[in-house]
């Protein structure tokens, strides 16, 4: 296993490529292009169905159940989600630092600050933990919504909201697993500058998932 | 332009390291072998879809027939469309993408050989998954377009639609994985000097198709996810009755995918014909840059015409006008292509080989389909024609007259490159003429039955409406297809063993794939060529001919040239198997989902952590 891990890192330098780039880098951009259309479809459906739910709870308005007279508050908790958004945004910063640490692995480090910045395990852990924290917030949000009477079956808002944010959450989950895989490689044999590409494509994916969340947060939570 | 057909050698090249046996096929990562797997599988599904069509035509041959029940008829037309589109034409195109793209751009393989194997296995398993239910009369029955809300649980209670939703989801994974692979290959693995504007037209069209796949398939993925959630988890995306859902949501999402899909189906055939017509006219393709630009324009406009499939739903005059106009606009780049093909043939030294006949067949028949298409680009005309056999006539002229004719042109043209032997021309011409007659006898009368008001998707009809003659003609025509196909299959298998030896360039063609032996060695190019023109064998410089001579060497092994080849591996097959088991779990037992996921993740990590090829020293 240890030897096979070493193989993956070997850049395909002996293969001629037209752009001089590794093909994996080209492919990840094609993949991100495709993912854009995936989220465009999800977000468009959310927007088309916005305000069309027949029964509550609603995202931004209170709703009185005509049968029971029970009043349901607006369901979105913007302060809590702002906190989770901040955590996710920070994870992108950690990701940048992780990539820089891997790229500069072989450079000599003199100060304590340089050693901290050059610690790829630290920044990969920070990114993964920030991603997992975001997922924790999402799990909390989902369960509290269910307690307040909003499930994926309740109304159009419930169906579109849980599907859209759930798809995003699934992407974050995949990203966290990806980061943990990189960490496993780092612990096993150490990531060096020759592995930059492995971290680079993970980072591109991670930033993409982050950018998508900014769009979702704005359109779903902030704009009433 | 100086070169002529190479004299054929006395025997086909053989390679000492050549692999054979079942295991070599299961574990192959060679783009040429995967292309051959695609070709055989897709031809099988093409015939399967053809049998469904023949039962449909037998049922409709005369009024008030009850050969099949109404319910089974629904399954037949649904599976005929689904099979032909997703299991026959797209994978036949993929067979050519696989076999030709690396050869045309001067590469040793695709960018990700193992991902390529994965795409094939997912396609095969997905095809089996969606096809098997018809043997138990529980096949999908909601049409190939699966309109929701008709397909939600409330109105389609059986398991039929579940097979369709999940099956298409599986096939989408295969198409997307292949698209990322080919896109990267074309962008990044072109030989030195193979600039974008020197790429063979087939590769150009393949390039455009991959972009369409990458952008269009996620939309159907999401539409299917909504339907899946509605059916399995009780969500409300298409629940128009109690939840206030929009009855047009599915139609919009489906056709935003569905119209680009039409170009995904036909552009590869356009590409093949753009290789065939110049070769047998002994002239470079007329207006090459304009052919490229019109291909791109078709793709761009293809994303702005989807609602012309929905004129009958009452979108209002503004939307109708917009989509009517964009649809008419798309006729311009398409017409440009037709004229360029005609200009390519004009004053050429034309050889009427079977491939050429199929190529000319495409130009003629696709034009008919294109013209009827412009007719229903006009919303008022479309209101008369929509959901009638006129539409059936139109899209069969486009998909049979366009895609299938182009694919057969490609098969006759490239069979010698794939197998090293020529198909029999006499049988080929009989195949062509029978197909051409059958095609027109089947589909031309449908224009009339449609204009007389015969609706699509009815399992039988009453006499006295003026439809009998036209239906009898269509049925008679349909019965000729199996004869034509049997001749083709006979020719295919006999020529594969006993056909004339082809040599590297039997047709005197001009592009890179004809510089290497037929069949090509596993490494394709002994040395990566340097390209100086669009037709290196026709108008190339000395460097092109030197590369061609070097690469024409036969009977060598990769080691002779120090070429590192990827390892064979079974892992992509197991990832695909895990994936399919996971999806099967959705309709059978939930435990299978876990088993499939475990197998998939284990095989995936095992794949990702093992090296593609031996360490290079």
Dump pLDDT digits (tens) for B184-198.
Answer: 999 999 999 999 999
Q: Say what the pLDDT of residue B6 is.
A: 54
> Is residue B261 annotated as a catalytic residue, yes or no?
yes
- Partners of residue B219 in chain A, C-beta under 8 Å: 37-38, 41
In this model, does residue A50 exceed pLDDT 80?
Answer: yes
Cβ count near A129 (within 10 Å) = 15
The angle subtended at Cα B383 by Cα B378 and Cα B384, nearest 5°, is: 105
pLDDT above 70 covers a percentage of chain B that reads 97
- Partners of residue B244 in chain A, C-beta under 8 Å: 52-54, 156
Lowest mean pLDDT among A11-15, B229-233, B501-505, B509-513: A11-15
Chain A segment 168-197 residues within 8 A of B by beta carbon are: 181
Contact A158 B236 (CB under 8 A): yes
Cβ count near A222 (within 10 Å) = 12
Residue A133 touches chain B, beta carbons under 8 Å:
no
Q: Say what the pLDDT of residue A56 is.
A: 86
More confident residue, B289 or B8: B289
The angle subtended at Cα B385 by Cα B304 and Cα B324, nearest 5°, is: 25
In B421-570, which residue ranges form alpha helices assigned H by DSSP?
A: 425-451, 468-498, 536-539, 542-551
In this model, does residue B4 exceed pLDDT 70?
Answer: no
Lowest mean pLDDT among A10-24, B73-87, B90-104, B247-261: A10-24
CB B568 within 8 A of CB B24: yes
Find, among B352, B357, B308, B359, the residue nearest to B330 by Cα.
Answer: B308
| Cβ-based contacts under 8 A for chains A and B | 124
In this model, does residue B617 exceed pLDDT 60?
Answer: no
Residue A136 touches chain B, beta carbons under 8 Å:
no
Instruction: Please give, rounded to a whole number of angstroms, the shortest distance from the CA of A150 to a CA of chain B.
Output: 12
Domain assignments of chain A as residue spans, ordered by start? 20-222
Cis previous bond, B149, omega within 30: yes
Q: Say what the pLDDT of residue A6 is.
A: 37
Q: Measured between alpha carbons, how far is residue B598 from residues A27, B170, B601, B611 in Å? A: 26, 18, 5, 22
Q: Say what the pLDDT of residue A224 is.
A: 85
Q: Say what the pLDDT of residue A45 is.
A: 97
Q: Annotated catalytic residue: which of B144, B238, B306, B607?
A: B144
DSSP string computed for B195-249: -GGGS-HHHHHHHHHHHHHHHHHHHHHHHHHHHHHHHHH---TT-TTTS---TTH
Average pLDDT over residues A73-102: 96
What is d(CA B561, CA B209) in angstroms, rounded to the nearest whole number?
A: 34
In this model, does residue B616 exceed pLDDT 90?
Answer: no
In this model, does residue B314 exceed pLDDT 80?
Answer: yes
Dihedral pair phi/psi, residue A72, rounded to 5° = -105, 130
pLDDT above 90 covers a percentage of chain A that reads 87
**What are the residues whose beta carbons fall under 8 Å from the beta carbon of A44, sequence distance 6 or more?**
none
In this model, does residue B183 exceed pLDDT 70?
Answer: yes
> Is residue B120 annotated as a catalytic residue, yes or no?
no
Average pLDDT over residues B114-131: 98
pLDDT averaged over chain A? 92
Lowest mean pLDDT among A175-184, A200-209, B288-297, B562-571: B562-571
Find, among B177, B146, B181, the residue nearest to B160 by Cα.
Answer: B146
B530 class by beta-carbon count within 10 Å (0-12 exposed, 13-18 middle, 19+ buried): middle
pLDDT averaged over chain B? 94
What is d(CA A23, CA B181) in angstroms, rounded to the nearest whole number?
A: 9
Lowest mean pLDDT among A77-86, B19-28, B323-332, B438-447: B19-28
Q: Say what the pLDDT of residue B485 is.
A: 97
Q: Say what the pLDDT of residue A8 is.
A: 41
**What are the residues whose beta carbons fall under 8 Å from the beta carbon of B529, sequence distance 6 or more?**
B106, B191, B512, B515, B536, B544, B547, B548, B551
In this model, does residue B202 exceed pLDDT 80?
Answer: yes
- pLDDT band, very low/low/confident/very high, at A13 (cuts 50, 70, 90): very low
What is d(CA B285, CA B308) in angstroms, rounded to the nearest whole number?
A: 32
Lowest mean pLDDT among B222-226, B301-305, B556-560: B556-560
Q: Say what the pLDDT of residue A96 is.
A: 98
Contact A7 B611 (CB under 8 A): yes
Cis previous bond, A57, omega within 30: yes
Contact A37 B219 (CB under 8 A): yes
- CA atoms within 13 Å, Cβ hemisphere of B407: 26
Dihedral pair phi/psi, residue B284, rounded to 5° = -60, 155
The model's pTM is 0.94
Residue A27 touches chain B, beta carbons under 8 Å:
yes
Q: Say what the pLDDT of residue A4 is.
A: 39
pLDDT above 90 covers a percentage of chain B that reads 91
Contact A34 B194 (CB under 8 A): no
Q: Say what the pLDDT of residue B7 is.
A: 53
What is d(CA B144, CA B54) in angstroms, rounded to the nearest whole number?
A: 17
In this model, does residue B615 exceed pLDDT 90?
Answer: no
In this model, does residue B565 exceed pLDDT 60?
Answer: yes
Enclosing H/E stretch for B270: helix B249-281
Pick the residue from chain A with its C-alpha nearest to B213. A34
More confident residue, B302 or A3: B302
**What is the 8-class DSSP label of residue B388?**
B
Q: What is the CATH number assigned to the segment(s) A20-222?
A: 1.20.120.80
CB B523 within 8 A of CB B277: no
B22 class by beta-carbon count within 10 Å (0-12 exposed, 13-18 middle, 19+ buried): exposed
**What are the residues whose beta carbons fall under 8 Å from the beta carbon of A16, sequence distance 6 or more?**
B189, B191, B192, B528
Q: Say what the pLDDT of residue B2 is.
A: 41
Third-level CATH fold of B22-568: Cytochrome C Oxidase; Chain A (1.20.210)
**What is the 8-class DSSP label of residue B283?**
S
Instruction: Please give, rounded to a whole number of angstroms, the shortest distance from the CA of B337 to a CA of chain A.
Output: 28
Domain assignments of chain B as residue spans, ordered by start? 22-568, 573-608
User: Which of B219, B244, B609 is nearest residue A8 as measured by Cβ atoms?
Assistant: B609
Average pLDDT over residues B224-244: 95
Give SS3 for B501: strand
CB B430 within 8 A of CB B409: no
């Amino acid at each position: 296993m240890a030897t096979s891990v070493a193989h993956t890192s070997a850049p395909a330098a002996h293969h001629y490529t037209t752009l001089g780039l590794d093909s994996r880098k080209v492919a990840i951009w094609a993949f991100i292009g495709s993912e854009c259309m995936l989220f465009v479809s999800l977000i468009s459906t959310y927007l088309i169905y916005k305000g069309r739910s027949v029964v509550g709870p609603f995202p931004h308005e209170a709703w009185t159940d005509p049968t029971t007279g029970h009043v349901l508050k607006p369901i979105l908790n913007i302060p809590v989600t702002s906190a989770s958004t901040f955590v996710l945004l920070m994870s992108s910063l950690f990701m940048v630092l992780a990539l820089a640490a891997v790229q500069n692995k072989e450079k000599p480090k003199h100060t304590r600050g340089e050693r901290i910045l050059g610690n790829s395990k630290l920044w990969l852990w920070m990114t993964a933990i920030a991603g997992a924290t975001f997922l924790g917030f999402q799990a909390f949000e989902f369960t509290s919504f269910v307690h307040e009477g909003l499930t994926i079956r309740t109304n159009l808002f419930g169906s579109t909201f849980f599907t859209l944010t759930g798809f995003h959450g699934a992407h974050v989950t995949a990203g966290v697993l990806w980061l943990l895989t990189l960490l496993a490689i780092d612990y096993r044999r150490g990531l060096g500058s020759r592995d930059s590409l492995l971290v680079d494509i993970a980072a591109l994916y991670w930033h993409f998932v982050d950018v998508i969340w900014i769009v979702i947060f704005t359109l779903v939570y902030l704009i009433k | 332009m100086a070169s002529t057909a190479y004299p054929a050698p006395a025997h086909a090249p053989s390679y000492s390291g050549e692999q054979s046996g079942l295991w070599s096929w299961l574990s192959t990562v060679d783009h040429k072998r995967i292309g051959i797997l695609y070709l055989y599988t897709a031809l099988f599904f093409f015939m399967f879809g053809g049998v469904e069509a023949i039962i449909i035509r037998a049922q409709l041959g005369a009024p008030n027939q009850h050969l099949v029940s109404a319910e089974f008829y629904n399954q037949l037309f649904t599976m005929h469309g689904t099979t032909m589109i997703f299991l026959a034409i797209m994978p036949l195109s993929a067979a050519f993408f696989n076999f030709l793209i690396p050869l045309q751009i001067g590469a040793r393989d695709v960018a990700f050989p193992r991902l390529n194997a994965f795409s094939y296995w997912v396609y095969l398993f997905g095809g089996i998954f969606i096809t098997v239910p018809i043997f138990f009369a529980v096949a999908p029955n909601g049409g190939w377009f699966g309109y929701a809300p008709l397909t939600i649980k409330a109105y389609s209670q059986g398991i039929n639609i579940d097979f369709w939703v999940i099956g298409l989801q599986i096939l989408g994974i295969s198409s997307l994985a292949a698209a990322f692979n080919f896109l990267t290959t074309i962008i990044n693995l072109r030989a030195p000097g193979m600039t974008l504007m020197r790429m063979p037209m087939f590769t150009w069209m393949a390039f455009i198709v991959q972009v369409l796949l990458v952008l269009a398939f996620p939309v159907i993925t999401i539409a299917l996810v909504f339907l899946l959630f509605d059916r399995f988890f009780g969500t409300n995306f298409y629940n128009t009755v109690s939840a206030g859902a929009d009855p047009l949501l599915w139609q919009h999402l489906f056709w935003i995918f569905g119209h680009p899909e039409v170009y995904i189906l036909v552009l590869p055939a356009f590409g093949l014909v753009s290789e065939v017509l110049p070769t047998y006219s002994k002239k470079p393709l007329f207006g090459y840059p304009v052919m490229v630009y019109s291909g791109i324009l078709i793709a761009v406009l293809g994303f702005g015409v989807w609602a012309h499939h929905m004129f009958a739903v009452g979108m209002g005059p503004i939307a109708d006008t917009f989509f009517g106009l964009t649809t008419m606009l798309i006729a311009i780049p398409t017409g440009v292509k037709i004229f360029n093909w005609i200009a390519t043939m004009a004053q050429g030294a034309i050889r009427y080989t079977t491939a050429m006949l199929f190529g000319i067949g495409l130009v003629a028949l696709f034009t008919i389909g294109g013209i009827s298409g412009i007719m229903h680009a006009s919303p008022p005309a479309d209101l008369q024609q929509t959901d009638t056999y006129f539409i059936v006539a139109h899209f069969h002229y486009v998909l049979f007259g366009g895609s299938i004719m182009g694919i057969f042109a490609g098969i006759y043209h490239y069979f010698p490159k794939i197998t090293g032997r020529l198909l029999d021309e006499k049988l080929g011409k009989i195949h062509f003429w029978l197909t051409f007659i059958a095609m027109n006898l089947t589909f031309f009368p449908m224009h009339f039955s449609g204009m007389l008001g015969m609706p699509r998707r009815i399992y039988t009809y009453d006499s006295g409406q003026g439809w009998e003659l036209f239906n009898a003609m269509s049925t008679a025509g349909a019965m000729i297809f199996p004869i034509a196909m049997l001749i083709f299959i006979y020719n295919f298998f006999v020529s594969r063993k006993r056909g004339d030896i082809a040599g590297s360039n039997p047709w005197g063609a001009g592009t890179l794939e004809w510089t290497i032996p037929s069949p090509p060695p596993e490494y394709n190019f002994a040395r990566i060529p340097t390209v100086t023109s669009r037709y290196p064998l026709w108008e190339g410089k000395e460097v092109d001919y030197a590369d061609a001579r070097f690469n024409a060497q036969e009977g060598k092994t990769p080691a002779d040239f120090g070429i590192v080849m990827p390892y064979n591996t079974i892992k992509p097959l197991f990832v695909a198997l895990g994936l399919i088991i996971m999806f099967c779990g959705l309709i059978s037992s939930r435990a299978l989902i876990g088993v499939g996921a475990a197998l998939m993740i284990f095989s995936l990590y095992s794949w990702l952590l093992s090296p593609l090829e031996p360490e290079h020293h």
